[in-house]
Amino acid sequence: MTTDRETLLKTLVQRLSTIAPELEAELMVPDRPLRHLVDLDSMDWLNFLVSLHEHFGVTIPEADYAQLVTLNDLVDYLQKKQV
Amino acid sequence: MIEFKLPSLGADMDEGTLLTWHIKPGDRVKRGQVVAVVDTSKAAVDVEIWHDGVVHALLVQPGEKVPVGAVLATLLTVGEVAPTPAPVSAARRAVSPSARLRAKALSIDPDTVHGTGAKGAVTLADIEAAATASPVSASAPVSPNTPDRQKEMRRAIAAAMSRSKREIPHYYLSEPITMATALAWLQQRNAGLPITGRILPAVLLLKAVAVALQRTPELNGFYRDGQFVPSTAVHIGVAISLRGGGLVAPALHDVANQPLAPLMQALADLVKRARAGSLRSSEMSDPTLTVTNLGDPGVQAVFGVIYPPQVALVGFGRVTPQPWVVDAKVCVQPVVYATLAADHRVSDGHRGALFLAELRELLQQPQALDAASAAPTALEGKPV
């Protein structure tokens, strides 16, 4: 049983907004590179992944970072992990 | 009697507004204790005290703006008797009964209120005045994003950077450094750890800078009153950009003497507090060199402006795959451009170059950098 895309996307944006409070949810186009949409440095990115770990219990290894460019990539990835 | 003065919380600060006292007359304080919150143009800063003692009197009230060096409070050393006649006795402060009652209702400590009555007695009006002033002080840790704060911060940065460019004869050096060994080692280390234990490459870079500085002490310290004062401790100022604009560069303390894991924790904590506008006075006042890392936005190299009274600034760009020659063969390796901006009044290009070479060598031995007090001067013994 996996969470539907819409809910996952919403959760991701909500988690991101705790790290980047200036983020505007309606501008978060899911197929554009995330780092173009939000000003995330490597510390922010790590904090984001820690927050996903706390929420979904999923650990994303560093080796997988390269494939996680857009929000859609993240949703696909989490669904594959049966979140 | 010890005078507790408003410390300078960075070269760009000349005054501060006291927001809150965490102490009151009669309290015993310990060296390093946070005793007050002071608003600077950049952040609300937790101000620490550097003496053990007993608080005698608080001389500045919340809401007051005072210059750097102003006496904020007086302390008695442990065992010292308050001088007589004390202007306002620490133990028995004159507070009118109605004022005391009102203060209790408003949860205000009358001892912290400035008295305008006879012989400094605290009156009902003083308490009412303190009550209207306190929402500003106590409950509003000034948001880092207000337009006023933005403007103030811009002004402060402009002042410090103009002074730097006016007074410091900068020279600049750069060196591409392969990160192949360091990143492979780090990735392997992180793979075996829970996500909360992961260490960012930025931490490895900070540690390497701190260790390399031990070999080139003329890059670590302050230029004051026409001469260089080297620092034995290495406190690295970390340039942290704030959301909404501006930046602060608070210190990570004793970077050379810490393993990577506690350094990572300290860095994460520092970034979090910098962005929340909650830094400590020692962090603001004592960086001995600043590191700026602009790798995340994605530039190749940054040639920084030295933050006075410091005498050097180290910059890192983005780690990118680059053609690299190993054993006369071209291959692709992750490479970072390290740069140095240094003060020519204090050091020369030759010494600066030695620093970058040392940095380069240290980053080829990442495991050694994880040691508590790493001092593997890789170039030891080689002719300088």
Collect the ranges in chain B with pLDDT lower than 50.
Answer: 85-91, 134-142, 376, 378, 380-384
**B353 exposed, middle or buried (CB, 10 Å; 0-12, 13-18, 19+)?**
middle
DSSP, collapsed to helix, strand or coil, labels residue B49 as coil
Distance CA B328, CA B79 (A): 73
- Residues from chain B contacting residue A53 (CB–CB below 8 Å): 195-196
Q: What is the ipTM of this complex?
A: 0.85
| SS (HEC) of chain A | CCCCHHHHHHHHHHHHHHHCCCCCHHHCCCCCEHHHHCCCCHHHHHHHHHHHHHHHCCCCCHHHHHHCCEHHHHHHHHHHCCC
Name the residue among B200, B244, B297 with its Cβ closest to that of A46: B200
pLDDT at B140: 39
pLDDT at residue B148, as a whole number: 77
Query: Quick one: closest CA in B to A59, which residue?
Result: B195
Q: Which of A38, A41, A45, A58 to mutate to test the interface with B (most CBs of B within 10 A)?
A: A41
Tell me: the pLDDT tens digits for A33-44? 888 888 888 999
- The DSSP-derived string for B221-268 is EEEETTEEEE-SS--EEE-EEPTTS-EE-PEETTGGGS-HHHHHHHHH
Q: What are the tens digits of pLDDT across the range A40-83? A: 889 999 999 999 999 999 989 988 998 999 999 999 999 998 77
Residue B120's pLDDT is what?
Answer: 73
The answer to whether the beta carbons of residues B18 and B84 sit under 8 Å apart is: no
Pairing of strands B44-48, B34-39: antiparallel
Q: What b/e readout covers B355-369, taking b as 16+ CB neighbours within 10 angstroms?
A: bbbbbbbbbebbeeb
At residue A28 the predicted structure's pLDDT band, cuts being 50, 70 and 90, is confident
Residue with tokens 């942290």, as numbered in its chain: B240
**CA distance readout (Å), B285 to B143, B308, B370:** 21, 11, 27
What pLDDT does B134 receive?
A: 43
Give the closest of B187, B244, B268 to A62, CB-based: B187
Residues in chain B with CB shorter than 8 Å from the CB of A22 are 243-244
Amino acid identity at B195: I
Residue-wise pLDDT for B88-119, tens only, equals: 444 456 787 778 887 777 777 777 777 777 76
Q: Letter for the amino acid at B328?
A: A
pLDDT confidence of residue B15: 84
A20 touches chain B (CB under 8 A): yes
